[in-house]
Structure 1
Amino acid sequence: MNKPGTRNLITDVEGIKIGNAEDPGAMSGVTVVVPDNAAVGGVDVRGGGPGTRETEALNPDCMVERVDAIVLSGGSVYGLEAASGAVMALAKQGRGFEAKGIHVPIVPAAILFDLANSGNKNWGDMPPYRQLGIDATENAGEDFPLGNVGAGYGAAAGKMKGGLGSASLVSDDGIQVGAVFAVNPVGSVIMPGTRHFWAWPFEQGEEFGGFGAPEFKKDMPLDMPVESRLAENTTIGVIATNITLTKSEAKRVAIMAHDGLARSIRPVHTPFDGDSIFVLSTEKEELAGPRPLGVARIGAMAADCVARSIARGVYNAKSLGGLPGFMS
């Protein structure tokens, strides 16, 4: 049996910490996922408009085996600078491989577009993201709130406030899987004409309201959601597991985890989104039994955690910048 961990956060995975930092004036923020030790990494990018850093290094045929952190940031292309801040903060901690006395942390990153919200983006030649990356890395811990936090601070889900969501699952035989996502999609997370999340079948307890099954209509409208904000989008996130994975296996888990986006956002992976999912293996436990079956279990758990994280990110977001929160 799988059930949520103690926190129902990605930090239920042993060896994972999260740091968040926000700039309320700019209405944007940064989330940094920091493993206690360099972790095996993988990534799968499905959106048609991605903004990323060092994703190619995570390909199974490339040399890099482990990463020191993953950065999720608002700010579109400006937000990529948050990874530079994380690199500096980690280097000060002695993280990364050493070359002639200089520490070189490996920090892949992905960004979402929140430049069109009502925050003040008149930052001249010094956008705030480098400092936000430093701050988020330095305050990494095991507990963090959801909603208007970190990379989800300025996010929007259509005409509704988006946010940062997280969820976890732990199996009876010790497999730990967790997810954290910044939710800012073209598509809708809500079923047309209802208050029900697309992810409702996967809810654990009442983690996003406990509304139960919707009353299905005979002819549900299947047009593009009218609230879609084309070219102002992207949902990005990180999966973590305590199970030892190879880079190829991490990539497969990332591929399977995208099913969680399809279960919770409609439409998804559009030309306007930069949907990207990273996977981290903290290598605390070994798989028991046939490896392909074990990897499939982790991927299935990851997809469920993704769907729940998406709904939790929106459910916990409060009204901000003219965007109403779900509970408003």
Structure 2
Amino acid sequence: MAKPGARNTITDVPGFKVGQTEDAKVRTGVSVIVPDAPAIAAVAVSGGGPGTRETDLLSAGMLVDGIDAICLSGGSAFGLAAADGVASGLKQEGRGFALVPLTGVPRTPIVPAAILYDLANGGDKSWGDVSPYAALGLEAYRARGLGVELGQAGAGFGAKAGAFAGGTGSASIVTHDGITVGALAGVNCFGSVFMPGTDAYWAWPYEIDGEFGGKRPPEDYAADAEDWGAAKANPALGQNTTIACIATDVALTASEAKRVAQMALSGFSRAIRPVFAPFDGDALFVMSSAKVESGEERAILVARIGELAASTLSRAIARGVYEANR
């Protein structure tokens, strides 16, 4: 029976650490997922209004085949500057890509990033000529470790999930044969994570050991196709996004990681309704630390990891909202 890891967070995956920081005045924050060594990575973007950086490098046929960190940030387009701070921290440690190492020429850290929209959450956004995000990115990078704070923390500090507080969520799963998959999400969705008229999460079938409250829908529950429940409006437009990262210790090729990312997108739709709307910026990264080599037939292995990623992501999303509203 597959079970969550010891922390039930993405840092249960060997080879990964997480750094988080917040600015309470601005009501925003940053989360950074850092592999111990450059990691194979992929991305899948499903929302109609994404904000991303360096995602083209994750396409097939590109020169760089390993990334140094993933940065998730609040701040909308301003938040993409958080990756600058992460890159600065990596540079100071001599990390990054170099086609031909040269004395006096720094390596170039590869830091793909995605942002969520928290500009209208009431925080003080009058920061003047320079936004706080590069400094927050560096601070988050330097704070990396195995602990992951859930709820109103990191990238999800100023988020809203439908009509409720959003937040940062994380979860993990360890299989009977020693494969680990973890997820971390910044949940700022337009849609609702709750089944309309109940306190049960859409993700409830995937919950393990009451990790987000153990609520269940009535036995005779039937969903109305046009009832979005506690979405930000029911129905109407808004500024929204759920951004996430999946990590695994199984060695994957770039192509396999891409398929896992595409499969993992279903984790969004298991946990949020509606999702992938024209005004959502939903994006998801996948990273492999390649700590585990599997002899399983490759297509079956990739299908397993993709499904584990989807269910673990749905749990992470629900956990983020649950912890933010306790």
Which of 150, 154, 177 is 1:150 aligned to? 154
Give the 5 Å matches for 1:7-86.
7-86=7-86
- 2:11 alignment partner, SS class: helix
Answering whether residue 289 of structure 2 is matched by residue 282 of structure 1, we say yes
Contact 1:192–1:221 (Cα < 8 Å) also in 2: no
Q: Deviations over 1:60-87 (max 9, x none)?
A: 2222211000000000000000000000
> Over the residues paired in the alignment, what is the CA RMSD in angstroms?
1.3
Contact 1:179 1:239 survives alignment (8 Å): yes
For structure 2, list consecutive stretches of 5 or more residues without a partner in the other structure.
none
C-alpha separation in 2, matches of 1:223 and 1:311: 19
Tell me if structure 1 keeps the 8 A contact 2:206–2:314: yes
Match of 1:94 in 2: 94
| Deviates further, 208-217 or 32-41 | 208-217
Would you say 1:188 and 2:198 are equivalent positions?
Answer: no
SS at match of 1:253: helix
> Which amino acid is the alignment partner of residue 178 of structure 2?
G
Residue from 239, 246, 262 that aligns with 1:255: 262
Provide the rounded CA distance (Å) in 2 between the counterparts of 1:105 and 1:219: 47
Superposed displacement of residue 212, structure 1: 3.2
CA contact (8 A) 2:198 2:217 kept: no
TM-score (norm 2): 0.95
Preserved CA contact (<8 Å) 2:163 2:192: no
CA distance in 2, matches of 1:313, 1:215: 26
- What is the distance in 2 between the residues matched to 1:37 and 1:62? 19
Partner of 2:309: 302
CA contact (8 A) 1:177 1:301 kept: yes
Residue in 2 that maps onto 1:322: none
Q: Distance in 1 between matches of 2:11 and 2:149?
A: 12
- 1:233 is matched by which residue type in structure 2? N
Cα distance in 2, alignment partners of residues 231 and 106 from structure 1: 32
Moved more, 93-102 or 4-13: 93-102
Name the residue aligned to 1:321. Answer: none
Among the aligned pairs, what percent are the same residue?
A: 53
Which consecutive segments of 4 or more residues in structure 1 shift more than 4 A?
Answer: none
- CA deviation map 1:50-108 (0-9, x unaligned): 00001111012222211000000000000000000000001111111235331211000
Which of 245, 250, 255 lines up with 1:243 in the alignment? 250
Distance, in Å, in 1 between the alignment partners of 2:266 and 2:323 is: 22
Whole-Å Cα distance in 1 between the matches of residues 268 and 306 of structure 2? Answer: 13
Question: Structure 1: how far apart are the matches of 2:51 and 2:220?
Answer: 37
- Cα distance in structure 1, aligned partners of 2:319 and 2:82: 24
Match of 2:139 in 1: 135
Structure 1 residue 8, shift from structure 2 partner: 0.3
- Give the distance between the partners of 1:133 and 1:201, measured in 2 at CA: 35
Aligned residue in 2 for 1:116:
120
* In structure 2, distance between residues paired with 1:180 and 1:53: 18
> Structure 1: which 5+ residue stretches go unaligned?
318-324
| Deviation (angstroms), 1:126 | 1.3
